[in-house]
Chain A
């Protein structure tokens, strides 16, 4: 089956020749029309549209956005804050950065609509510390929008006021975790909070109800309000509505970002047709479908089971290539859609070395709060590093699995899962490579290759 054509909703103008990231260009392309229309409607209506749309958060967990907004404590009398999570740090993911760099007003419009819908007077864009350029673009775009009375006091003469502030992180992956982000925004170490009791919807920023949404999610809100929740819900597949942006990196001929209707494209179509398949003379070995913390898939493995189609349960028997790229299908085969970062590896990749690299990242980024994650991530890194440096033991495979199994589900935030799933899945799928690593002939590295951490 040929791959469907791209449906560029969010990325409509990304990489469009002549499209600039200033307000004039955005408005020439119909920008802020949705906001102008939205502020004439009742906020509850807008929330309803989002609920009807079935929009799922694009940050990684895929939590329904309408439900998230529905959980917000609106009776406390405290102000409600909205935070744009622009701390895009998951290795293999580069969608939010493109939006911020090339189409910042789309984000601001989506943010303002969401703020209006939730009666938010103050919003923060928490942008990753490593994206200073993006932060400057956002600052400039917000200033433009404020000058045009689209942000700030009494917007468009409606009496509704809302400020947006850009806050730069200081360089920590954990700041993407929503409660860690809130702590960081409050000026503290980004140690994620315990839930209960600190659910952001009730006790978020400064102990006030807070909505934390991903950049892409808020851009979707703009399109939902523009076309109506029901119409949006018809894009994609039931339960996985709208479009999804896939950031494909690694050993394919045409890496990059691609936007498709959610669930309408399979992993095989994406990798082989859209991205041109493996490099000449190589074969695909493995793929991580949703950012580096998602569980890895091995080309050649098969997944069998029953799934729900409409109201019926039907059998499925998929190879990796056959898996539809949506949250539910990927969860069904034991991995996740995550942030949409698709990392492809071909037969030149040694899995022990690949894992050593991933482990080094997670050991470096653990906040250090919970014992299992703090100690486990570093331990796993030390084992894989030692293996790569030439002192591998046969029993290291079992040890790695033993360590990784002690982490997930036992920590405050999902970092425990994020740092242990790679090890667990690499071991499950490529266990022999780990057991035999001591004897294996090492891949000769090109002279210019960067050293492993």
Chain B
């Protein structure tokens, strides 16, 4: 028996296929659900509907009712209710599902409409695909192949418009390629709340431009490049660097804040070329901040750590681990572990095991900046909640207060006091810069430091043992974002020479400290995690869905989280 549709569902018929969709779903989305592609340019699921590209024209009909009696009019030929087809084609994006709505996308009229729009879009388009960055991911290419006539009747001069306008520090515009869909304008106005884009001039001479004296400079400007269906808006950083079809796509998570925007990391032969957002309707919709797109540059940054060091001299991993253990043994009872909200859940779990093997205290570093109410939150740790879930710490330290334009690190006040008092003589830091987090030079000098990390800083310079590890782009793992949503990311590129996976380093330290360490692969660690952490009991890395799983954050509701409201997050009201 088929259960009756829920009250808010309406049944629509698309090319003869019936489907129940939530009331108000538009025809493009409904058709997608039955596997029917309705081509479109201006429509974007996260922006308002303007219906100006006219590519999504479909035939629409509604069930016939007798005007007098309001009873359905039946069609004797089929025995079904008669459908009144509207003679004019209708836009799919602006047509919402109503009970019994009928849609045809495969008729001669629809075909003619699409061919007409495709031809019109291309007559003033430069057709410079061989030198266009959008080639390979261009809707004009795809849809002219799929729905165009394949030839042009246009012999007149094409429009001439500006070819390389700098709309802002990160976005370059080629106006001749623009098909005037207005997605970028709507994004800037509706999502980024920075209404700087607009059209000037009229008709086919309409030109996208910035408001005089302003720039498209907000931290979300590159989303306009992502949603531009053609090669008009290009990323100044990525422009002319690489053909997109050569690039490998890896799912990532933006590590710049606790929003945990889902990303795709585009790489070729171990080199990352760009990062773009990945749709997750519960987290970041289809957006991400510009600041998160350049983080891959830390992989090859000049300050990248690539050599294991013991007392400042180059060494080997096992020698360094042994050196660290020697330090631990000499100072038993005086060890502290500084974990990180930037480590993955798996790393935090091993950090906790290391701390318990060393009988060490644990703390995490807070990282507080200004939230932008969208996808860069006040908590700039991608995984602070992971530290709670894994039990690395049971409570969060009091966070520092945000200062305009600055990210403030903190949370090590009690550690500093313990160092001053001589209770702590060794500090193991997992990727955190103790100096930046508030320890002063005297305190750093008083302790022996074992530092894991990716970039050189005051802490690694002062450390007895330096163990280079990997950036998020070079390893796989999971983060727990501000919603307590556990999300996974995968290794996009191999680690640089000289750096070792954090898990391997931590497992070696745990084993050297005398405890039983899990094998440093995700499968084994997740088996141990699931056994040790009830909240993760049913999960494995492999079976986590691409859009993540929501954990129960209520046990930590009283913790001093700093985030305000963001795109899909509201702080718990106290």
A positions within 8 Å CB-CB of B: 172, 189, 191, 194, 196-197, 363-372, 374-379, 382-383, 386, 399, 402-403, 406-407, 409-412
Contact = CB atoms under 8 A, between A and B. Distances in A.
Nearest to B120: A375
B202 interface: yes
B203 A406 contact: no
A368 B123 contact: no
Contacts of B154: 379
Contacts of A189: 198-199
The 10 tightest CB contacts between A and B, nearest first, are: A406-B116, A375-B120, A368-B206, A382-B156, A366-B203, A378-B204, A194-B51, A368-B203, A369-B52, A409-B88
Interface stretch (B53-61, B412-420, B551-559): B53-61
Interface of B: 49-55, 57, 87-89, 91, 94, 112-113, 115-117, 119-121, 123-124, 153-154, 156-157, 159, 179-180, 198-199, 201-206
Nearest to A195: B94
Interface of B is mostly: loop
B88 A374 contact: no
B206 A383 contact: no
A109 B112 CA distance: 49
A406 B202 contact: no
Contact of A379 (B50, B52, B53, B123): B123
A186 to B, nearest CB: 14
Contact of B206 (A374, A406, A411): A374
Contacts of B120: 371-372, 374-376, 379, 406
A375 B121 contact: yes
Contact of B179 (A172, A197, A371, A411): A371
Contact of B156 (A194, A372, A379, A410): A379
B113 A410 contact: yes
A409 B204 CA distance: 19
Given A194-B94, A375-B121, A411 B205 contact: no
Given A189-B199, A368-B203, 20 more contacts: A172-B202, A194-B49, A194-B51, A363-B204, A364-B202, A364-B203, A365-B202, A365-B203, A367-B202, A370-B54, A371-B53, A371-B179, A374-B204, A379-B156, A399-B153, A402-B153, A403-B153, A406-B116, A406-B117, A406-B120
Given A379-B123, A406-B112, A367 B54 contact: no
B181 to A, nearest CB: 9
Nearest to A188: B198
Contacts of A402: 153
23 contacts: A172-B202, A194-B91, A197-B94, A364-B202, A364-B203, A369-B50, A369-B52, A372-B117, A374-B120, A374-B180, A374-B204, A374-B206, A376-B120, A377-B203, A378-B124, A379-B120, A379-B156, A399-B153, A402-B153, A403-B153, A409-B88, A410-B88, A411-B54
A379 B121 CA distance: 11
A363 B449 CA distance: 74
Contacts of B52: 191, 369-371, 412
Nearest to B57: A410
Contacts of B51: 194, 412
A368 B91 contact: no
Contacts of B206: 368, 374
Contacts of A379: 120, 123, 154, 156
Contact of B124 (A363, A366, A375, A383): A375
B14 to A, nearest CB: 19
A383 B54 contact: no
Contacts of B112: 406
Contacts of B198: 189
Contacts of A409: 87-89
A364 to B, nearest CB: 7
Contacts of B55: 371
Central interface residue in B159, B203, B204, by most chain A CB within 10 Å: B203
A418 to B, nearest CB: 13
B94 A368 contact: no
A194 B57 contact: no
Contacts of A410: 54, 57, 88-89, 113, 116-117
Nearest to A419: B203
A383 B156 contact: yes
